[in-house]
Amino acid sequence: MNQEQNWIEAARQGDQDAFAQLVRLYEKRVFALTLRMCKNPEDAAEAAQEAFLAAWQGLRFFRGESSFSTWLYRLASNASVDLLRREGRHRAAAGPSLDDAELNLDVPAPAASPQEQAERSELREQIEAGLAALPPDYRQVLILREIHQRTYDEIADILSLDLGTVKSRISRGRKQLRNFLLRSGNFSAAPPSKEAGKEGCK
């Protein structure tokens, strides 16, 4: 049994110091996820705090069927979505830019010219605006897939969703985001990707 497992077992028995060690171990990763979901640091901190509180309250029911990190990601993701829905902020919150290759966008290559830098900055802003317009459920799966590089199976486990639902939400979320960017009039779609037929690959 490794140190993390020792802390988990002790925390399940009510050891607050052991749980504090788990918080220190995961707080940066949890905050990174909630910040990408909520954008606003204050909201992200609130969601992260709610996730750790839920973890402490529910730890005695944690059976280890999935990893502790997966379970904690689930709590953090759900807390973020609950906060966004409760406060009605999902239209105002903006997420990070996604992997541009996944979106089939023409993105200027890194360059030093002011014009190209401005174009890249504009693209990032448009992607963030597009993510802000997505329903929380779509933003949730896209962030886990594109930013945290989770597989489809892991996302299904984290969010307690069917694998088909995960694939559908990612596909629809990408499509909505791509259409948003195309409607902006500043960007054009790239030629069909060779990977287009591998949407369900992990």
At residue 180 the predicted structure's pLDDT band, cuts being 50, 70 and 90, is confident
What is the structure's pLDDT at 81?
85
Alpha carbon distance 102, 120 (integer Å): 17
Q: How many helices (H) and strands (E) does the chain have?
A: 8, 0
Give the rounded percent of residues in the chain with a pLDDT score beyond 70.
Answer: 71
At residue 194 the predicted structure's pLDDT band, cuts being 50, 70 and 90, is very low
53-60 contact pairs (CB < 8 A, 24+): 54/79, 55/19, 55/22, 56/11, 56/19, 59/8, 59/11, 59/12, 59/19, 60/12
Tens digit of each residue's pLDDT (9 = 90 or more) over 81-124: 888 877 664 444 444 444 444 444 444 444 457 777 676 677 66
Alpha carbon distance 13, 8 (integer Å): 9
pLDDT reading at 65 higher than 80: no
Q: What is the mean pLDDT of residues 14-18?
A: 91
Nearest to 59 by CA among 18, 91, 27: 18
pLDDT reading at 21 higher than 90: yes
Alpha carbon distance 147, 85 (integer Å): 22
Rg (CA), the chain: 19
Higher pLDDT, 79 or 99: 79
Query: What does pLDDT average to over the chain?
Result: 77
What is the structure's pLDDT at 138?
87
Alpha carbon distance 117, 192 (integer Å): 26
Nearest-5° Cα angle at 32, 31 to 36:
110
What is the structure's pLDDT at 26?
94
At residue 137 the predicted structure's pLDDT band, cuts being 50, 70 and 90, is confident
Alpha carbon distance 172, 6 (integer Å): 41
Q: pTM of the full predicted structure?
A: 0.58
pLDDT reading at 189 higher than 70: no
Q: What dihedral angle (degrees, nearest 10) is formed by the CA atoms of 78, 59, 152, 166? A: -40
pLDDT reading at 38 higher than 60: yes
Is residue 105 within 8 Å of residue 189, measured between CB atoms? yes
Is residue 44 within 8 Å of residue 31, measured between CB atoms? yes
Higher pLDDT, 98 or 165: 165
pLDDT reading at 133 higher than 60: yes
Q: What dihedral angle (degrees, nearest 10) is formed by the CA atoms of 13, 157, 176, 81? A: -20
